[in-house]
Amino acid sequence: MAEAAREEGSGSFVAHAHDHARCVRGALERAEELCRQRGVRLTDIRRQVLALIWSGHRPLGAYDILTKLASERGGKAQPPTVYRALDFLQEQGLVHRVQSLNAFVGCQLPEETHRGQLLLCRGCGDAAELVDGACFEALERSASATGFKVEGFVVELSGLCPACLEREDKEAP
Amino acid sequence: MAEAAREEGSGSFVAHAHDHARCVRGALERAEELCRQRGVRLTDIRRQVLALIWSGHRPLGAYDILTKLASERGGKAQPPTVYRALDFLQEQGLVHRVQSLNAFVGCQLPEETHRGQLLLCRGCGDAAELVDGACFEALERSASATGFKVEGFVVELSGLCPACLEREDKEAP
DNA sequence: TGGGCAAATGCAATAGTATATCAATGCACA
DNA sequence: TGTGCATTGATATACTATTGCATTTGCCCA
């Protein structure tokens, strides 16, 4: 399963053209399985919100989700509905909040409780997730050295994904 | 100057009781000097906003600043005024935006363009800044390995500062 | 099977954060 | 002294998130 996830792009950006239906399907299947194992309920709304988030690899704002959800449900969805679903999905590690964008993106490795770096491309807007334990150990070590007890990490790097970098190099060589 | 800054608490949390007037004075003096060197204008409003941010070591929301600014100026300040001042101060590296709090905190080392980790205490709300080049090199290395070109970093660690950690240990041993 | 409980959802209002736009003023410099 | 650009003023609005309470749903078990 971990390998399947990796094939779909975990740890790096997916190609701008790829079998995205497979990403979505995989994400939903993994979510179902995880929730089943944990004895929590992946309700219709939660599944719908998760699917909407996985409609692309670009972080989505809560109100983007709200708009799409409302249109899927006949125009009747309110902010709390979306935020509650997002809270649940975050608790289960199925989505990440992107602090620097006030947006949400699907987690590419929900099985492991990991501490990942988010890579955010300013070209295409896509996000990718990177798990490098050594980085977090280094961050924690230097914080601990000051007597600080670390409980949570937010690590978000902005820049250009490989595809956008190449395109930009071509345009302005 | 770097040493003076360090004495005032850079690189770690300041004591909960310390000579804070000195922090503020130092921050404003350094800001004046930096702006002079760079040929940019530290106007009244900008100086006022900077001083308000330095009224403590706890990140302040834009509307907290707005309220205080308005009361200092006879009730007449609007959001854009504050946000424009904040934009300027961020461009000059005099304040940092705290993404995970939607708030702003004074930069403890504005002279160097550094990439710092912010340490955010959930106990007292104070923030501290840590500069550890090795961490950022590690982060950048692992991102680069995927072909991503890093342009900006957001690294925010939440947890407990030494003082709050000690207090918590005492209460629940 | 249906009563009772907790979780989930619906719904209305409001709080909190940030930006767009255009007019007016101030400052630097020719 | 006038010209041009940066700064500020003022109004409106967009965007993001939460509170509080009513209602429904799913589930456990008597």
* pLDDT tens-place string over residues B116-159: 899 999 999 999 999 999 999 999 999 999 999 999 999 999 99
The answer to whether B40 CB sits below 7 Å from nucleic acid chain D is yes
pLDDT recorded at residue B109: 85
Is A32's pLDDT higher than 60? Answer: yes
For the cut 80, the answer to whether the pLDDT of residue A6 exceeds it is: no
Q: How confident is the model at residue B169 (pLDDT cuts 50, 70, 90)?
A: confident
pLDDT at A109: 86
Is strand D less than 7 A from the beta carbon of B38? no
Q: B90-123: per-residue pLDDT in tens?
A: 999 999 999 999 999 999 888 887 788 999 999 9
Determine the distance in angstroms separating the CA of A100 from the nearest CA of chain B, rounded to an integer. 6
Contact criterion met (CB < 8 Å) for A152 and B150? no
Q: pLDDT at position B4, please? A: 41
Mean pLDDT of chain B: 91
Judge: B143–A119 Cβ closer than 8 Å, yes or no.
yes
pTM: 0.91
Q: Out of A135, A146, A150, name the one closest to residue B135 (CB).
A: A135
* pLDDT surpassing 60 at residue B6: no
Strand D atom within 7 Å of A71 CB: no
Name the pLDDT band for B15 (thresholds 50, 70, 90): confident
pLDDT tens for B18-35 read: 899 999 999 999 999 999
Considering CB atoms only, which of B11, B154, B157 is closest to A152?
A: B157
- A139, A148, A158 ranked by CB distance to B162: nearest: A148
- Span A120-144, average pLDDT: 95
Q: How far is the CA of A33 from the C1' of D29 (A)?
A: 27
Query: Are the beta carbons of A152 and B159 separated by less than 8 Å?
Result: yes
Q: Assign B11 a pLDDT band (cuts: 50, 70, 90).
A: low
pLDDT in tens, A75-110: 889 999 999 999 999 999 999 999 999 999 999 888
Sign (positive or negative) of CA dihedral A128, B117, B135, B162 = negative
